[in-house]
A and B are shown apart, each in its own frame.
Chain A
Amino acid sequence: MTGHDKAQPPAPVAARRRRLIAYALVAPGTAYLLLVFCSVILLLFSYSFRTERSSRLFAPFSTETWSQALGDDYQLGVLWTTLRVGVVVTVLTVALAYPVAWCLYRVRRWWVRGLLGFVIFSPILVSVVVRSYGWMLLLSPGGLLAGPLDGWLYHEPGVILALVHVELPFAVVPLLAALRTLPPGVLEAAADLGASPARRLRSVLLPLTLPGIVAAAQLVFALTVSAFATPALLGGGRVTVLSQSVYQNIQQLNWPLAAVQALLLLAVALVVLSVFNRLSRLVDVRQRRDRKGTIA
């Protein structure tokens, strides 16, 4: 018994050792992430305030690139296109994903559900370049959809169509998760009390799955505004979004303008993230209040 006690270090020492082990285990990942984040912020700001490409770390300070990016009609148009495509794709994707998730949720045979789930989620595994190329083929002049969707390739509708296809699985996942948390029998209770299908959708289903809708919209919008390969291929140079513009400016050796646009892209992503976070907290609070109300 005493031997066993001697073998164990005193409690504070053991606690400190456990903490040291924990820090040692998280250290590599944390160091890596902090290194990348810090260099991202430093480099972006540093390059956005100069006028010419140079690999020197310090250069004369100038706000010319910023005023060029925010004062030029073409540059503002790129920002506007990015936001417009982002909003349209988000609305269309969530509107399509909601009934998909609902139908998947209602399918009873496990193998049908498994098969359809695999079909709808499998595109995530296929390269975005390949999926975009499929749409290029479908929309090109000799393609299968060239008749009904004439002129969509290399224009905004084609970009939006392909983006909806790419982001659809990402919207179905949170919606399906939200549907699975529905209290059992709640829709039948509404039906038994005489609510019409439209009323059940409006007063029961939509309010209860609102957190899932917010989560799906957040994910799709964030992925869409930063998408690169799909708008680059389907837009064919005629539809330009921010991420493409960053790439083009690098190729034209205009690093400062690329830095400004990268910062704008980052700002859009972060603002949208915080807006949606606030929104989902709001929804959460309201739901909790409603639940309390029904109990009381």
Chain B
Amino acid sequence: MTSRTTSRLTGRLTGRPTGTGLGAAARGVFLTLTAGFVLLPLAVVVLSSFSADEVADGGWPNGWSLRWFREALEYEPFRVGLAYSLQVAALATAISLAVGAAAAYAIARYRFPGAALLRAVFVMPLSLPRVVTGFCLFVLYASLFPTAYGTVGGIAFAHCLLLLPFVVSVLGAALAGLDPALEEAARDLGASPPRAFLRITLPQIRPALIAAAVFAFITSFDEVDTSVFLMPADQTTLPVAVFLRLEQQQDPTVTAMSSLLIAGSLLLAAAAALAARGVGAALVAREAGTGEPGEPKETRGERTA
């Protein structure tokens, strides 16, 4: 009874109208249905991958088996593709973080002519359809840099175009929320600019860095629309291999590989969320420790006394 009154009160205070029980029930049903719609295709993939059937037809499995997972991991294009995708994603993430962090830092901290224009330039790739990017880089590689076609470097180079807008905006937002005085203080105390950046600014934007890195990695790892133009069909990244095989046939090997991809993405996201929260909690703890200097000082005083 009291908790309901309090929640209604907080609802009033936060400006969120609290509905009647009927309205809340209707909203609950609607959200549950939507969650079902969102999860259904993923659930059916996971379910079918444990099937013992010879063909994946989307129906309820007649028996259960793990053999499609073994076949998926033994299927050559998937195995090669997995290693290929991991290399591309790691390289593209590293490049876009280094280049993007430098650009975001300059735009956030320095005032120079053209800064506003640059901010627009760094989000421009978002309005470029990925297929157009893929086609153009394909023609570019084919006519000027034939050695880049179908290589880790060539594909990572293309993926940076998709990752940079995201990295720059996330890191830019994090940097804008910081107090530049801290870094200036470090420099006044004798730290070199790179050292001040690494020791003072970088630790403060670590949650944003982790978020940007994880999202960049997943985006690059899952990328199909651009990549499909940039590699020969017999040696491709993992999602492109899945795509090309799906165009030909549907079989349980693809289903099992898809399940592994779902599990991988969710695990990575969960790990990143935990890491970001851990870092955040550590920061809060440290701030709480330094923010109230009264108590520790007193205890120290007592101990010495």
Q: Which A positions have Cβ atoms within 8 angstroms of B?
A: 18-19, 21-23, 25-26, 28-30, 32-34, 36-37, 39-40, 43-44, 47, 55-57, 96, 99-100, 103-108, 116, 119-120, 122-123, 125-131, 133-144, 146, 162, 165, 168, 182-188, 191, 222, 225-229, 232-233, 242-243, 246-247, 250, 255, 258-259, 262, 265-266, 269-270, 273
Q: Do B129 and A129 have beta carbons less than 8 Å apart?
A: no
Q: How far is the CB of B5 from chain A (nearest CB, A)?
A: 13
Q: How far is the CB of A92 from chain B (nearest CB, A)?
A: 12
Chosen A-B contacts, 8 in total, with CB atoms closer than 8 Å, are A29-B100, A39-B140, A103-B31, A126-B222, A133-B246, A134-B40, A184-B14, A262-B129
User: Closest 5 CB pairs between A and B?
Assistant: A184-B15, A134-B41, A143-B58, A226-B129, A142-B57
Residues of A close to B41: CB separation below 8 A: 131, 133-135, 137-138, 162, 165
Instruction: Answer yes or no: B27 CB below 8 A from chain A CBs.
Output: yes
**In this complex, which of A105, A142, A168, A187 has the most chain B Cβ atoms within 10 angstroms of its Cβ?**
A142
Q: Do B121 and A30 have beta carbons less than 8 Å apart?
A: yes
With beta carbons under 8 angstroms apart, the residue of A26, A100, A225, A246 that contacts B34 is: A100
* Assembled-state Cα–Cα distance A134/B40 (Å): 8
Q: Do A246 and B107 have beta carbons less than 8 Å apart?
A: no
Residues of A close to B124: CB separation below 8 A: 33, 37
* Assembled-state Cα–Cα distance A106/B18 (Å): 8
Q: Do A126 and B118 have beta carbons less than 8 Å apart?
A: no
Instruction: Answer yes or no: B261 CB below 8 A from chain A CBs.
Output: yes
With beta carbons under 8 angstroms apart, the residue of A30, A36, A103, A250 that contacts B103 is: A30
Instruction: Answer yes or no: B84 CB below 8 A from chain A CBs.
Output: no
With beta carbons under 8 angstroms apart, the residue of A28, A122, A133, A229 that contacts B225 is: A229
With beta carbons under 8 angstroms apart, the residue of B44, B128, B228, B243 that contacts A144 is: B44
* Assembled-state Cα–Cα distance A34/B31 (Å): 44
With beta carbons under 8 angstroms apart, the residue of A96, A127, A136 that contacts B224 is: A127
Of B69-77, B201-209, B262-270, B286-294, the one with at least 4 CB within 8 A of chain A? B262-270
* Assembled-state Cα–Cα distance A34/B124 (Å): 10
Residues of B close to A270: CB separation below 8 A: 127
A29-B99, A33-B122 known; A143-B265 Cβ under 8 A? no
* Assembled-state Cα–Cα distance A170/B118 (Å): 25
Instruction: Answer yes or no: B102 CB below 8 A from chain A CBs.
Output: yes
A33-B121, A262-B135 known; A129-B103 Cβ under 8 A? no
Chain B, residue nearest A55 (CB): B143
* Assembled-state Cα–Cα distance A36/B130 (Å): 13
Residues of B close to A146: CB separation below 8 A: 58
Instruction: Answer yes or no: B106 CB below 8 A from chain A CBs.
Output: yes
With beta carbons under 8 angstroms apart, the residue of A57, A108, A129 that contacts B18 is: A108
Q: How far is the CB of A136 from chain B (nearest CB, A)?
A: 7
Q: How far is the CB of A37 from chain B (nearest CB, A)?
A: 7
Q: Do A43 and B136 have beta carbons less than 8 Å apart?
A: yes
Q: Do A134 and B130 have beta carbons less than 8 Å apart?
A: no
Q: Do A119 and B35 have beta carbons less than 8 Å apart?
A: yes
Instruction: Answer yes or no: B19 CB below 8 A from chain A CBs.
Output: yes
With beta carbons under 8 angstroms apart, the residue of A21, A47, A144, A273 that contacts B110 is: A21
* Assembled-state Cα–Cα distance A215/B221 (Å): 27
A29-B99, A108-B18 known; A142-B59 Cβ under 8 A? yes
Q: Do B132 and A265 have beta carbons less than 8 Å apart?
A: yes
Chain B, residue nearest A249 (CB): B135
Residues of B close to A44: CB separation below 8 A: 132, 136
Residues of A close to B50: CB separation below 8 A: none
Q: Do A273 and B127 have beta carbons less than 8 Å apart?
A: yes
Q: Do B224 and A262 have beta carbons less than 8 Å apart?
A: no
Residues of A close to B115: CB separation below 8 A: 22
Q: Do A250 and B58 have beta carbons less than 8 Å apart?
A: no
* Assembled-state Cα–Cα distance A40/B246 (Å): 30
Q: Do A126 and B38 have beta carbons less than 8 Å apart?
A: no
Q: How far is the CB of B270 from chain A (nearest CB, A)?
A: 9
* Assembled-state Cα–Cα distance A18/B127 (Å): 32
Q: How far is the CB of B252 from chain A (nearest CB, A)?
A: 11
With beta carbons under 8 angstroms apart, the residue of A29, A125, A139, A225 that contacts B122 is: A29
